[in-house]
Amino acid sequence: QGGTEQHEFSAEVGRLLDLVVHSLYSEREIFLRELVANSADATDRRRFEALTDGARALPEDAKIRINPDKEARLLTISDDGSGMSREELVSNLGTIARSGTRAFGQQLESAKPEDKPNLIGQFGVGFYAAFMVADCVEVVSRRAGSDEAWRWASEGKGAYTLEPATREKAGTDITLHIKEDADEFLDTWRLQAIIRKWADHISWPITILKEDGESPANEGTALWRKPKSEVTEEQLNDFYRHVTHNFDTPWATLHWRAEGTIEFTSLLFIPGSRPFEFSEQSRESRIRLHVRRMFITDDANLVPSWLRFVQGVVDTEDLPLNVSREMLQATPVLARIRKAVTGRVLTDLKNRAKDAETFLPFWENFGAIVKEGVWEDAEHRTELAGLARFRSSALPTDGEDAAKGWTTLGDYVARMKPEQEAIYFLTGDNEDALAKSPQLEGFRARGIEVLLLSDPVDAFWPERLSSFEGKTLRSVTQGHADLEKFAIEGEADAGDAADLDILIPALKEALGESVSEVRGTDRLVSSAVVLAAPEHGPDLQLQKLMRRSGQ
Ligand code: ADP
Ligand code: MG
CB 154 within 8 A of CB 136: yes
- Residue 374 vs residue 537, higher pLDDT: 374
CA of 39 to the centre of ligand 2 (A): 8
Q: How far apart are CA 246 and CA 244, in angstroms?
A: 5
Q: Tell me if 477 sits within 8 A of 440, measured CB to CB.
A: no
Q: What is the pLDDT of residue 100?
A: 58
Q: List alpha helices for 51-85, DSSP H.
A: none
Identify which ligand lies nearest to the alpha carbon of 98. 1
- Residues 472-481 have pLDDT tens digits of 999 998 876 6
Q: Is 127 annotated as a binding residue?
A: yes
Is 123 annotated to bind a ligand? Reply is: yes
Contact 117, 30 (CB under 8 A): yes
Question: Ligand 1 pocket test: which of 41, 88, 139 has the largest number of ligand atoms within 8 Å of its C-beta?
Answer: 41
**Distance (Å, rounded) from C-alpha 388 to C-alpha 413?**
13
Alpha carbon of 38 to ligand 1 centroid (Å): 5
The string of pLDDT tens digits covering residues 430-445 is 888 898 998 898 899 8
**Residue 538 has what pLDDT?**
76
The reply to whether 125 sits in an annotated binding site is: yes
Which pLDDT belongs to residue 121?
63
User: What integer pLDDT is reported at residue 196 of this predicted model?
Assistant: 82
Query: In terms of pLDDT, which residue wins out, 303 or 277?
Result: 303
Tell which atom from ligand 1 comes closest to the C-alpha of 171.
24
Query: How buried is residue 180: exposed, middle or buried, by Cβ count under 10 Å (0-12/13-18/19+)?
Result: exposed
CA 92 / ligand 1 centre spacing (Å): 6
Residue 309 has pLDDT above 90, yes or no: yes
What are the pLDDT digits (tens) for 27-44?
788 899 889 989 999 999
Residue 39 near ligand 1, beta carbon < 6 Å: yes
Q: How confident is the model at residue 122 (pLDDT cuts 50, 70, 90)?
A: low
Strand partners, 209: 214
Length in residues, the chain: 551
Candidate of 123, 127, 174, 206 to mutate for ligand 1, largest count of ligand atoms within 8 Å of Cβ: 127
Q: Whose CA is nearest to atom 16 of ligand 1?
A: 92
Bigger pLDDT: 383 or 548? 383
Is residue 496 predicted with pLDDT exceeding 70? no
Residue nearest to atom 17 of ligand 1 (CA): 92
Q: Is the CB of 38 under 6 A from ligand 1?
A: yes
**pLDDT score recorded for residue 136:** 97
Among 92, 98, 202, residue to substitute to test ligand 1 (most atoms within 8 Å of Cβ): 92
Apex CA 521: angle with CA 517 and CA 527, to 5°? 105
Q: How far is the CA of 127 from the centre of ligand 1 (A)?
A: 6
User: What confidence tens digit (pLDDT) does each residue in 402-423 have?
Assistant: 888 999 999 999 999 999 999 9
Mean pLDDT of 211-224: 88
Rounded Cα distance between 454 and 301, Å, is 28
pLDDT above 90 for 458: yes
pLDDT of residue 396: 84
Percent of the chain clearing pLDDT 90 (strictly above): 54
Least confident of 43-52, 181-190, 387-396, 497-506: 497-506
Q: Which stretches does DSSP call E strand in 380-478?
A: 391-392, 422-427, 450-453, 467-468, 471-475
Element containing residue 44 per DSSP (H, E): helix 30-50
Q: Strand, helix or coil at 176?
A: strand
pLDDT band at 339 (very low <50, low <70, confident <90, very high): very high
Q: Which residues pair with 289 in a beta bridge?
A: 297, 314
Task: Give the Å distance between the CA of 42 and the centre of ligand 2.
Answer: 10
How high is the pLDDT of residue 14? 82
Neighbouring C-beta atoms of residue 541, cutoff 10 Å: 23
Q: Global pTM?
A: 0.70
87: Cβ below 6 Å to ligand 1? no
Q: What is the mean pLDDT of residues 114-120?
A: 68
Give the pLDDT band of residue 497 (cuts 50, 70, 90).
low
Which residue lies with its CA nearest to atom 7 of ligand 1?
A: 126
Q: Are 384 and 370 in contact (CB under 8 A)?
A: yes
Computed over every residue of the chain, the mean pLDDT equals 87
The bridge status of strand 311-316 relative to strand 5-8 is unpaired
pLDDT digits (tens, 9 = 90+) for 140-187: 999 999 999 999 999 998 899 999 999 999 999 999 999 999 999 999
* Cα angle value 23/27/33 (rounded, 5°): 115
Quick check: 532 pLDDT over 80?
A: no
**76 Cβ inside 6 Å of ligand 1:** no
C-alpha dihedral sign at 101, 26, 112, 284: positive
Q: Does 122 show up as a binding residue in the annotation? A: yes
Q: At what angle do helices 188-199 and 30-50 cross, to 10 degrees?
A: 60
Ligand 2: centre distance to CA 254 (Å)? 26
From ligand 1's centre to the CA of 234, what distance in Å? 29
Measured CA to CA in angstroms, residue 468 lies from 241, 308, 463 at distances of: 39, 25, 11
Please, which residues bridge with residue 329 across strands?
none
**3-state SS class at 475:** strand
Other CB atoms within 10 Å distance of the CB of residue 175: 22
The pLDDT assigned to 495 comes to 52
CB 157 within 8 A of CB 197: no
CB 505 less than 6 A from any atom of ligand 1: no
Is the beta carbon of 81 within 6 A of some atom in ligand 1? yes
The Cα 245–Cα 37 span in angstroms is 11
Instruction: Give bridge partners of residue 163 from the DSSP assignment.
Output: 151
Atom of ligand 1 nearest to the CA of 126: 7
Q: Which of 5-9, 105-109, 116-120, 393-397 has the lowest mean pLDDT?
A: 116-120
CA-based end-to-end distance of the chain:
58
Please say if the pLDDT value at position 493 is more than 70: no
pLDDT tens by residue, 285-307: 999 998 888 778 888 999 999 99
Instruction: Give the ipTM.
Output: 0.99
Please give the pLDDT value at position 498: 58
Helix (H, G, I), strand (E, B) or coil at 32: helix
CA of 125 to the centre of ligand 1 (A): 9
The whole-number average pLDDT for the span 393-404 is 83
List residues bridging with 134 in a β-sheet. 178
State what percent of residues in the chain have pLDDT above 70.
91
* Separation of alpha carbons 48 and 328, rounded Å: 13
234-269 tens-digit pLDDT: 889 988 987 887 888 999 999 999 988 899 999 999
Q: How confident is residue 462, by pLDDT bands cut at 50, 70 and 90?
A: very high
